[in-house]
Amino acid sequence: MTTGLLTTTAGRAAIIADLGGGADLVLTQVAWGDANGVPYNPNEAQVALVREKYRAAIASVAVVDGAIVVDATIPADTNDGTGRPSHGFNVAEVGLFSAAGTLIGLARCGNGYKPPPSSGQASAVTYRLKLAVANPSAITVVIDPQAQVNIGRQVRPFWVTVDGVLNDPPAAPATGATYVINGAPTGAWVGQAYKLAQWVGVWVVTAVPTGHQVCDNSVAEDSANRYLKRTAAGWASAIATETAVGPAKIASEAEVTTGDLSRTVSAYSLARRLRGAASTASIPAGGWDEAGETWGIHPCLLLGTEAGGPGGAYYFHCWTIRYNAVGTLTQVAIPYSEAATSTYGWLMRIRTGGAWGAWRPLIRDGSETQTGVLALASAAEAVAGLNTTKAITAAGLQKARLKKTRVVISTPGAFSWTVPAGITTVQLIGWGDGGGGGFGNNPSGPAGGGGGAQFEWTVDVVPGNTITGTIGGGGAAGFAGNNGASGAGTTVTANGQTRTAGGGAGGVNAGGGAVTNSALGGAVSGGAVDVSRNGSPSAGGLQGYSGSGTLFYAGKGGVAPNGGVGGNAGTGAGNGGVIPGGGGGGGASGNVAGAGARGELWILY
């Protein structure tokens, strides 16, 4: 049954304003109330229901006999409007509202009862309301986007055809015409940007979610905007791209050739693209097995082989290609020799206009300035270090390292060495000298001397320049009442830079008892080196006991890294440190102490 609405004073003013070119009237919602339990006859002055219980969006709309007819539904699970699921309510009044919240029209209902969901009698109730207006076409109705609208067609299926994308409502649309409202709407569409609008005698407007797609019948079938999809920013082409799924057009052969990114390729076009050149007349005899093709590339691997490759190798013809103008053909032949001693490998030559060019490597050789494939150097080539086109293996590198020239400078004092011709880098390995052992009065146990430091240093040099420095001679042994002397260290200067492997400290003497303090090892100084190792400290003196009384032991000398060990010591005389860089042992209870070992320098190139 259709319920006619009484137009309120406010509703009449809104309709007149709309018809007179003022603010657009947009109908959006229907509300129901229970009239506070007292049914009444509506009056034009009302601006609200007496007691509203439920409100819903308009579900559908039509124009019948010059009046706007809308449907709205109270769902089955609706309670009494105050949050009490066990209570229903009487429907005694109904009103039609605009988007601005104005009560446009209202009517008295038959005081029907809406059961609560818990009663088991609940069902959805749909009301059809009729609003008489002079010109329904001037009024816009916004419907619930979840509702199905079936006025000749549905506005909200997943896919819908539309009659255009517009900002301005058309003056005389056909019934059922549907449009995408663009981003700057005017007239009855103001405020409805990016929604769908359908004409049913009034404009029915509904919002659609992101991802909704439409087909625009107003544009050509091959247009990129034939298919549109709703996005967060509005509407955009739904055509498939490299990053998005969507409809796609099959490319023509010409578009396949030009590489059109917006078109997909059919199996036929792909086959055509991979086929070859002009005609059998323009291909050398026996060099083509297809006729009549006009463009592309064809992998024509011919049956059989031909002789005449480098070193007598047999080869296949393959990859006949046309470049540039029709009739300009290139034929590539690739030979391969399986001989173990072959120096050719994969080669190629190009035949253009009936004449073969020279054989060329299919894969180019690598060099210091070109990326490519490298052969491996032999052990002899690795040791010689002169080949610039071959790679060196781990085994070759090890042999090359073992074959280095080594110059040993071991004489204490100053030295000078001239860089030979052709040498631009050297490796310097130096040891500091050891400290002398301490002297111990009788009875006592002194400390040994510390070990010298070691460095490894790679430095650039200039042929003809000199490398200079000083080799430490070793710290002197301590004598009566004195500590052992510290090592002077080994110093080297190359290319204006100086590095020092420090000498070990001298051992502390003992006037009586045991000296527990050890002598420190040397340290590397002067700047950065490849490897830096400090000398180890010496041992201190010890006190022991035997059947004849107390015994005192002198400390052993410190060790130089990768060099000499410290001199041994005990209850008697101390031994000298081992070359290079070992610290001297201490002399116990009046015995002679050992001297520190000298330093040393190796020059490798």
> What is the per-residue pLDDT across 580-596, written as a single tens digit (0 to 9) for each?
998 888 777 778 888 99
Residues 383 and 305 occupy one common structural domain: no
**Is the confidence at residue 170, as pLDDT, over 50?**
yes
Least confident segment among 113-127, 245-259, 316-330: 316-330
**For residue 153, is it within any domain?**
no
Residues 65 and 132 occupy one common structural domain: yes
**Residues 470, 415: contact at Cβ < 8 Å?**
yes
What tokens appear for 80 in the block? 């009494």
Higher pLDDT, 44 or 585: 44
Residues 314 and 331 occupy one common structural domain: yes
Residue 242: pLDDT band with limits 50, 70, 90: confident
3-state DSSP call for residue 161?
strand
CA–CA distance, 527 with 494 (Å, rounded to integer): 12
Residues 473 and 339 occupy one common structural domain: no
Q: Which residues are paired to 205 by β-bridges? A: 142, 197
Residue 485: pLDDT band with limits 50, 70, 90: very high
Residues 450 and 551 occupy one common structural domain: yes
- Average pLDDT for residues 167-176, to the nearest whole number? 90
pLDDT tens for residues 322-370? 333 344 444 444 444 444 334 445 566 666 656 667 666 666 667 777 7
Q: Name the DSSP class of 405.
A: -
From the number of C-beta atoms within 10 Å of its C-beta (0-12, 13-18, 19+), residue 506 rates as buried
| Rounded alpha-carbon distances, angstroms, from residue 58 to 2, 190, 287, 359 | 15, 19, 76, 82
Least confident segment among 154-163, 295-304, 526-535, 543-552: 295-304
What is the structure's pLDDT at 304?
34
Q: State phi, psi for 253 to the nearest 5 degrees.
A: -60, -40
From the number of C-beta atoms within 10 Å of its C-beta (0-12, 13-18, 19+), residue 242 rates as exposed
**For residue 199, is it within any domain?**
yes
Greatest mean pLDDT among 36-50, 115-129, 289-303, 392-406: 36-50
**For residue 540, is it within any domain?**
yes
Domain interval for residue 176:
159-237
**Is the confidence at residue 185, as pLDDT, over 70?**
yes
Higher pLDDT, 462 or 124: 462
CA–CA distance, 406 with 294 (Å, rounded to integer): 71
Q: Ramachandran region of residue 526, left (φ > 0), alpha (ψ -120 to 50) or beta? A: left
Residues 328 and 476 occupy one common structural domain: no
3-state DSSP call for residue 280?
helix
Q: Which of 93, 113, 142 is the last residue of a domain?
A: 142
**Residues 312, 323: contact at Cβ < 8 Å?**
no
What is the structure's pLDDT at 602?
94
What is the structure's pLDDT at 339?
41
Residues 105 and 208 occupy one common structural domain: no
Residue 295: pLDDT band with limits 50, 70, 90: very low
**Is the confidence at residue 381, as pLDDT, over 70?**
yes
Residue 286: which of 260, 312, 264, 316 has the closest Cα? 316
For the chain, the domain total comes to 5
- How do strand 413-418 and strand 549-553 relate by DSSP bridges? unpaired
Residues 454 and 571 occupy one common structural domain: yes
| Rounded alpha-carbon distances, angstroms, from residue 339 to 141, 304, 310, 359, 451 | 87, 20, 12, 18, 61
Q: Which of 306, 336, 361 is the last residue of a domain?
A: 361
**Is the confidence at residue 292, as pLDDT, over 60?**
no
**Residues 548, 567: contact at Cβ < 8 Å?**
no
**For residue 256, is it within any domain?**
no
Q: State phi, psi for 268 to the nearest 5 degrees.
A: -65, -45
**For residue 357, is it within any domain?**
yes
**For residue 255, is it within any domain?**
no
Higher pLDDT, 180 or 109: 180
**Is the confidence at residue 455, as pLDDT, over 50?**
yes
CA–CA distance, 510 with 542 (Å, rounded to integer): 11
**For residue 29, is it within any domain?**
yes
- Average pLDDT for residues 71-85, to the nearest whole number? 72
Residues 385 and 352 occupy one common structural domain: no
Q: State phi, psi for 436 to the nearest 5 degrees.
A: -75, 150
**Is the confidence at residue 286, as pLDDT, over 50?**
no
Q: Which residues are paired to 549 by β-bridges? A: 546
CA–CA distance, 115 with 125 (Å, rounded to integer): 11
Q: Which of 210, 237, 264 is the last residue of a domain?
A: 237
CA 59 and chain centroid, separation: 49
Residues 586 and 441 occupy one common structural domain: yes
Residues 524 and 398 occupy one common structural domain: no
CA–CA distance, 234 with 210 (Å, rounded to integer): 9
What average pLDDT does the chain have?
A: 76
**For residue 253, is it within any domain?**
no
What is the structure's pLDDT at 351?
60
What is the structure's pLDDT at 465?
96
Residue 549: pLDDT band with limits 50, 70, 90: very low
Work out the percent of the chain whose per-residue pLDDT is above 70. Answer: 69
**Residues 34, 53: contact at Cβ < 8 Å?**
yes
Residues 347 and 282 occupy one common structural domain: yes
- Average pLDDT for residues 385-389, to the nearest whole number? 72
